[in-house]
Structure formats: structure tokens, C-alpha cells
Amino acid sequence: MTFPTIKLPERALRLAQNLISMPKAVYFSLPILIGLTVFMAVSEAPGILRDWTISQNPVKLVNGDIRDGKCSTRKGFFTTCEAHLNYAYNGQTYDRDVEIMFVDIHAGDYDTDLVISGDHPDLATLSLGLDMLWNRIITLAVFVALLGGACIAMIFQILRVWRARGQLHRAAQLAPVPVEITTFQRRGKRLTVTYTDKIAGRKTGRAAHTNFEPGQEPLVVGAKDGKPVALAVWHGNTALPVLLDSRLERIDMAAQERASILAPLTAELGGQPLELIAQGKKGPTVMARLARVFLVILLFIVGIFGYWVWYVTSAESQFTSPAMDLNNMMPAPLNRWGCDQLKKRFGDQRAPFGCAASDFTSWK
């Protein structure tokens, strides 16, 4: 399918600045995704490495004591198990907290034993953790790959936009190209547009974002599959095309030159310039809505994590609720670190829930 186009002068032309933008949500969500990736790796990798070491020379202890063992299943298959292990080996007594995470479709209780490393008796785990070792490795790898992949994709997208914006500072030959407008949103007099290069020419499939000043509209030349098609230009060898406005004010040219370029296009379109508003105002896409929901979830998680850090490092009382319940739900390494921070400040007082030993009073 071909669309009406324009013929630009055969000379290097300069474009206005900051014509390619990046949604603020990308900058905001990137550190959150990085934090979640690091948190997942730090919280689960040590336990997997510990159990891998134990699996090289496992020793099952019949007289070991498994206390406060419990497993929680979320979404029907995402399971987290934790327990406090107390055992004696070669005359030495050990206390360890263990938490494991894996994916399993299971109903009822799990049967498990206490297992230690014959080479390093200070390392202890549940036999369930060894049975699910490869399950746990794959689960962690998938989570880190998904979160880390999203981080890398965002970083690459940001760098590509920055590089393209830097190249737009100089004059270059412009080549018109039709692009598909995938989404647009009006906020007051400001128009934000997302467009994709997948109709003609290079067909890179790359999406870009731009903001139009009040009174400006994209140079719409038709529609494809119910979506508006507008004209953009390749600026030299930049990685992203730049969307044009309906009056070509984004190109540094004289007003008379703009008018002479637009005249044939206006005649071809029947003398009625197309406007984006004529396509009907569109709301956010499904992906945009999902992204917003995901962002809200991420903000909630970060807020909870920040509240927990404040509790263990700065709270005036170790019995602050619901912070102490939150600390109890943290993965074993984080719970242990949090209890250590609380003990530094309240070690001469009664231990709170989540940090109390089996007598519910002293620190574990």
C-alpha cells in the first residue's frame, strides 16, 4: 500500500530540537526493575549455592530438629518454604534459618528431612530444597532473565533515543517515510504520539515517541488497518525516524518553501488536510494499561521494602506493627540481617515477632 508523500529539497536540512522523546515512566521504572532484579538474585542465589554445595556430599540427620516449618503457595504454583533448623554434629550445635523458593503444583503438606553437608557441617537445608534444586535454579534464572532482559531493553532504548537526539543537532539530508501512529494522547493542548516504522522503506519496526507543541498536528496522509498513517523523515543515518507536523514547522525552512512543498500533498488529499483528531480520540492500549498496573505494583513493592528498611534501621520500637510482621515474612537472609540491625539497638530488650527464638522472648 502506498501513501501520499512530499518532495523535500535536495540539500541538508536542520530539524528542531528534542523531537524524539522518551516516556518518563521508562526513566522511573528502570531503577525499580534493576532493584527487583538485584533483590531476587541476592535473596535466592546464596540459598541455591548453599544447597548445591550440600548436594555434593549430603548427610541426612535423623536427630535434627525442624522448627516453625511452613510452606506458602501463591497463584497455585509459586511456593515458598521456610524453617528453623537446630542440630548437633561432631559435638557442635548449629542453628540455621532456611528458605527456599520453587514452582510446583502440589496439594497438601510436604515431607522433608534435615540435610547437612558432610564437608561443611555448618551448611544445612531441607531435603525438599535438594529435591527441588534444579527447579529452583531454573525458577531464579527465568525471573532474573525476564527482569534483567527488561532492564537491558530499557537501557538500550534510552541510549538509542539519546544517540538519535544527538544526531539531530546537525543538518542532514531528509528522506520522507510513512509511519503508523500506534497511540496518541491529548493532555490539555499538548499532544503525545507514539509511532512505528513498519509500513515502507526500512521497516525497522522501531517505535518512537514525540510531543507536539500546542496547535501542532502530525502530517496525517491516510490510514492502515484502522490506524492513522503520518509522514516522518529519516535524518541522515539516525536510528529512528522523526515525525513531521502538518505545517512542516519542525523543518528549518522558509514559510514560502513549506507552502510550496505542502501544496501538491494538499491537492492529492482533496484539499482537506487530515487531522489526527479526525481518527477519533484513542485511550491507552492494553499494553499501556498493563504497564501502568505493573508500575503501580512495583511502586507498592518498593514502598513496602523501604518501610521495612526504615523499621529495622530507624524505628523507635522493635514492636512497631505491621513492620515486625513484614520483617518476619522477609526471605531468611534479609530477615536475619534485619534482626541483626534491631538487635544492635534493642538487644537488651525482648525480641519482637520475627526475631524471637523458640522461647518467644530472647533473640534468635
DSSP assignment of 1-36 equals ---------SS-B-BPSS-SB--HHHHHHHHHHHHH
6-20, 27-41, 166-180, 273-287: lowest mean pLDDT where? 273-287
Angle at 351 between CA 348 and CA 355, to 5 degrees: 130
> 347 CB contacts (<8 Å, ≥6 apart)?
363
* Cell numbers at 241, concatenated: 525516524
Q: pLDDT band at 278, cuts 50/70/90?
A: very low
**Quick one: DSSP state of residue 326?**
H
pLDDT of residue 52: 92
DSSP per-residue letters across 225-263: TTEEEEEEEEETT-SS-EEPBTT-TTB---HHHHHHHHH
19-37 residue pLDDT tens: 888 888 788 888 888 988 8
Mean pLDDT of 219-243: 88
Residue 64, burial from CB neighbour count under 10 angstroms (0-12, 13-18, 19+):
middle
What angle in degrees, to the nearest 10, is found between the helix axes of 133-167 and 24-56? 150
- State pTM to two decimals: 0.58
CA distance 174 to 46: 54
Which residue, among 201, 177, 207, 361, has the nearest Cα to 285 in the 3D structure?
207
Cα-based angle 58, 60, 61 (whole degrees, multiple of 5): 135
* Whether 266 contacts 273, CB under 8 Å: yes
Task: Give the lowest-confidence range in 13-27, 141-155, 245-259, 287-301.
Answer: 287-301
Distance between CA atoms of 198 and 201, rounded to whole angstroms?
8
Dist CA 268 CA 262 (whole Å): 10
Q: pLDDT at position 280, please?
A: 42
Q: Distance (Å, rounded) from C-alpha 308 to C-alpha 303? A: 9
Cell of 334: 534479609
Summarised one tens digit per residue, pLDDT across range 305-324 is: 888 888 888 888 888 877 88
CA distance 233 to 235: 6
